Amino acid sequence: MNDEHTADAYAGERLKLSPFHSRQAALNIRDAWASWNGYKFAPYYYDPVYEYFCVRNSCGTYDICPMQKYEIRGRDAEPMLNRLVTRDVRKIGLHRVGYSVWCTDEGRMIDDGTIFRLADDRFMLTCGSSCIAWLEKSTFGFDDVTVTDISDALGGLSLQGPTSCAVLKRMGFKGIGSAKPFDVMRFPFHGDELMISRTGFTGDLGYELWLHAELALQVWDELYAAGEDYGIQPYGEAATNMARLEAAFIMPAMEFNEALRTVHFEHDQTPFELNLGWLVDFDKPHFNGRSALWREKQRGPRYTLTRLDVEGNKPAAGAYIYPTRRCTREIGYVTSAMWSPAVKANLALAMIKTEHMDGDLWAEIYYEKELRPYRRIARCKRINKPFWMPERARATPPPDY
Amino acid sequence: MNRYDAIVIGAGHNGLTNAAYLAKAGLNVVVLEKNAYIGGAAVSRELHPGWVYSNCSYVCSMLRQAIHRDLDLSRHGLILVPYLGTISFGDGDGRLFAYHNPDAAYLELKRHSPHDADAMHRFHADLTRYSQLIRKTLMRTPPEPTSFRPKDILEFLYLAKQFWSLGEREIYEYVRFFTISAADFLDDYFENELIKAAMASPGIIGTALGVYSPGSAYILLHHAMGDVDGNIGAWGLARGGMGAISTALACAVRSHGGEICTQAGVRKVLVENRKAVGVMLENGDELRARIVVSNLDAKRTFTRIMDKADLPEGIFEKACNFKIRGSSGKVNIALSGLPRFSGVPDDRYINRGGQTFNGSLETMERAYDCWKRGRWSDNPFIESVIPSGSDPTVAPPGCHWMSNFIQYCPSSLSDGLWSPEKRERFGQTVIDKIERYSPGFRNLIVHMEVRTPHEIESEIGLTEGNIFQGELTIDQLFFNRPFPGYGQYRMPVRNLYMCGSSTHPGGGVSSACGANAAREILIDLRRPNTVPKDDFYDE
């Protein structure tokens, strides 16, 4: 046979497979697949709500291999990152992780992500979508810094939920209980090394495991053997989205539109608009977008991302926000909404014009019942704290469940 | 002498709910509980180190979401986790798996009967329609049929409007539904014996009726009308056991300034000038209050902690004749591993949820025949759940516990009183039956708690061990609950109220009785209402 017959004519169109794929495919018993950054990716494995409850009640794993991971090393790595992001990278200690955002000169948000300080001159930056071009631009003027895309070589698996620490302890990682939130620990693993950070995207107790892609199946098998008695279950995009909304974490393409992909004027966001002003440190050396952000801080953001508890039980997805029940003049819009089974509340994140934030807020909600559309006007209450913030998420050592 | 605005007798979930809403309205409230622990039948106890049983009630779907949300029970530590998968066991090799996914569930039904797989759609639509109507009444006070007060007339108009919205044909069906048996109701839909048996079992749970007894169709509906986050008919587990519900409610009571006293059993409700004025405790102490609320069942309230002389004529007799027959047992078993059942695949989504040992309608009816004769059947109906399959907090890792609810178990036996020896034999009957479906089950047993109606009555005070605080038959429902003329939570003695499952809407961990009673009390005391309206997904 010649190559023309054996080669996959559609190879260029097919999705990449995560190093965990074979194990995940076996558990994806409803054959539910979508994609993320070119990887075949599960929206759910069995049932979205069931998986969400695993995260809140036992533990679950979420494949973060498709996330972008960059290694930034060199004497100038720290100043270069500090020039890039809004928070002071110098304050991120060794073996610590910091959440940050980076902006354009106009102070509009390009992306958010986490920065791991792995050594004095070595960092890892993770984020949702590829930004190598921007990173390379950002090295301009720095002599000793290299940026390497390690996304494919480094696998990642997020383990989240109340029993996650117990599972890691059973897996043999002594001392993991002493890891504080945003700590990084390293453990020898079959002649190689496993890096575990106490981080996650669920607002609950949880960890992220970082490993060379070749170790993926071994890590998976040992993790699932240890987790068998602790209710371990893979979870997909749908459950992640529920958990992160309860924790009031922002999501690209939901709460913010990446600045470098934004066509229309100011359809992107500033950190202040996203309620991330605490991440912008004007006391540190110059960083990208500083003067624009300074002006924004003085003036106040046009919109402010607001946490809402919406009356009733109809999720306010896509709803407009009004200052009166009559719904005549829009003052904002809902970016994400859900009924929260754990909190038992109707949650929403909404961008609201800042000057209206303290007034009455009403959401105009459309929903459907047996194909017939219905409309409901619901009063909204502003909530200051994240909707979900259990003590175990911050406790060190964390409880076993 | 202590003086309170309100005394609530019994720290079961309804008593706590009632107290929370009274305290929220600014009243000075105390809840008195005879046991050293709170919760009544919504209780979790660690009787063997490492294993936490839900000793009585074991699953939850009726808890009113509006109350959960309003009293902030999540912040007080309550999380309700839906559990997956139920296996129904037939008499022989018959197995019916209730898969979570609708496609899978359909194919499974089709394996047993293509006819029934399709009929299930109509069954669900009908049952949902009926339960939606009933659910509307859960957090409303039943109107008094002989009253001409505007409030009662308006309530009747509201009900008429809801009823009318069903359409003419359905109104006839609905009325019929209240009086027929579960078996008759199911015959209209299904042909397969195992499917019928599986669908009939909610019709007998907790009740002294058989699948062929008129009225059991309503019991079926009562069990099906709950929901978890809008999924009607779904059941959830309280993380940490059913006691977590009571614990969260107790936190709500205290956060509003209410008090809870344990080991404070009430000997007598004090009545002066035909008004309730307080209570006398078992230890002789007297507590005074503007009002007294009893969370005990109607029979216990009027025949045990009240003087016949303090009651208007006829009430004592009504209470004596209140239908509250014990019919159920509970066996809680701590296990060293997950039980495996023959003929059941190693599917984690199906084999660590619920099991019902149905047999057939005939098997269930024979078990009922035994109950009528004051015996328990060698082949009882058992509804089981393995809460540890979904809840990591109730058994050590790798270990499990199994809640077994047994129908039927008589409160008085034909051969004399219950004794520890007979209780032991009853427990063995249950294990024998499970062992037939799960060879080796016996070897997994680490500890066991057997509860016959005798234990249920003596420990948590449910007369005859009736889990609903009185039968849920039409003569004792809605404005007839507990007695005709007393359906609005106010009792025959002034300033005395009832807030337990003996009142509308009846049994189940719903908190609705307690909340409804609080709303009526606050009207009488001219306080602003603190009780929320119910919320529905189907509106």
Per residue in B8-65, pLDDT tens?
Answer: 999 999 999 999 999 999 999 999 999 999 999 999 999 999 999 999 999 999 999 9
Whether cis (ω within 30° of 0) applies to the bond prior to B484 is: no
* CB atoms A170 and B397 under 8 Å: yes
Q: Nearest CA to CA, how far is A231 from chain B (Å)?
A: 7
β-bridge partners, A125: A70, A115
The pLDDT of residue A2:
52
* CB atoms A57 and B81 under 8 Å: yes
The single-letter DSSP state of residue A179 is P
Cα distances from A346 to residues A51, A158, A343, B123, in angstroms, run 19, 27, 9, 30
Count Cβ–Cβ pairs < 8 Å, chain A vs chain B. Answer: 59
Q: Nearest CA to CA, how far is B387 from chain A (Å)?
A: 12
Closest-approach residue (CA) in chain A for B238: A57
CA dist., res. B515 & res. B22, Å (int): 9
* Chain A residue set in contact with B, beta carbons under 8 Å: 30, 46-47, 49-50, 53, 56-58, 162-163, 166, 170, 228-231, 312-313, 339, 341-345, 369, 401
Q: Where do we find the tokens 């079926």?
A: B220
The pLDDT of residue B228:
83
* CB atoms B230 and A313 under 8 Å: yes
In this prediction, residue B227 has a pLDDT band, given cuts at 50, 70 and 90, of confident
CA dist., res. A137 & res. A356, Å (int): 39
Whether cis (ω within 30° of 0) applies to the bond prior to B505 is: yes
* Facing residue for A163 by CB, picked from B74, B101, B392: B392
Of B213, B68, B9, residue with least CA distance to B510: B68
* Contact yes or no for B463/B208 (Cβ under 8 A): no
* Contact yes or no for B247/B76 (Cβ under 8 A): yes
CA dist., res. A399 & res. B317, Å (int): 54
Q: What is the DSSP string of A206-262?
A: EEEEEEEGGGHHHHHHHHHHHHGGGTEEE--HHHHHHHHHHTT---BTTTB--GGG-
* CB atoms A166 and B397 under 8 Å: yes
Selected for mutation to probe chain A from B64, B67, B74, B350 (highest A CB count within 10 Å) is B74
Of B306, B333, B329, residue with least CA distance to B318: B306
Closest-approach residue (CA) in chain A for B100: A47
Q: Nearest CA to CA, how far is A91 from chain B (Å)?
A: 34
| Sequence-separated (6 or more) residues with CB below 8 Å from residue B2 | B30, B287, B288
pLDDT of residue A1 exceeding 50, the answer is: no
Average pLDDT over residues A377-392: 95
What ipTM score was computed for the predicted complex, to two decimals? Answer: 0.95
As a whole number, the mean pLDDT across chain A is 96
Phi, psi of B352 (to 5 degrees): -130, 25
CA dist., res. B304 & res. B173, Å (int): 41
Q: Which residues of B touch A167 (CB under 8 A)?
A: none
CA dist., res. A241 & res. A201, Å (int): 9
Half-sphere exposure of B408 (CA within 13 A, CB side): 30
* Facing residue for B398 by CB, picked from A229, A345, A369: A229
* Contact yes or no for A297/A277 (Cβ under 8 A): yes
Selected for mutation to probe chain A from B393, B399, B400, B538 (highest A CB count within 10 Å) is B393
List for chain B the helix, strand, coil content (%; round to 5).
35, 20, 45
Average pLDDT over residues B233-237: 84
* Contact yes or no for A57/A162 (Cβ under 8 A): yes
Q: What is the DSSP string of B270-281?
A: EEETTEEEEEEE
* CB atoms B397 and A229 under 8 Å: yes
Phi-psi region of B241 (alpha: psi -120 to 50; beta: other; left: phi over 0): left
Average pLDDT over residues A61-67: 98
Q: Nearest CA to CA, how far is A390 from chain B (Å)?
A: 9
Q: Nearest CA to CA, how far is B52 from chain A (Å)?
A: 14
Average pLDDT over residues B410-437: 97
* CB atoms A231 and B392 under 8 Å: yes
Cα distances from B536 to residues B66, B141, B467, B539, in angstroms, run 9, 17, 26, 6
Residues counted in chain A: 401
Average pLDDT over residues B195-221: 94
* Facing residue for B239 by CB, picked from A57, A166, A313: A57
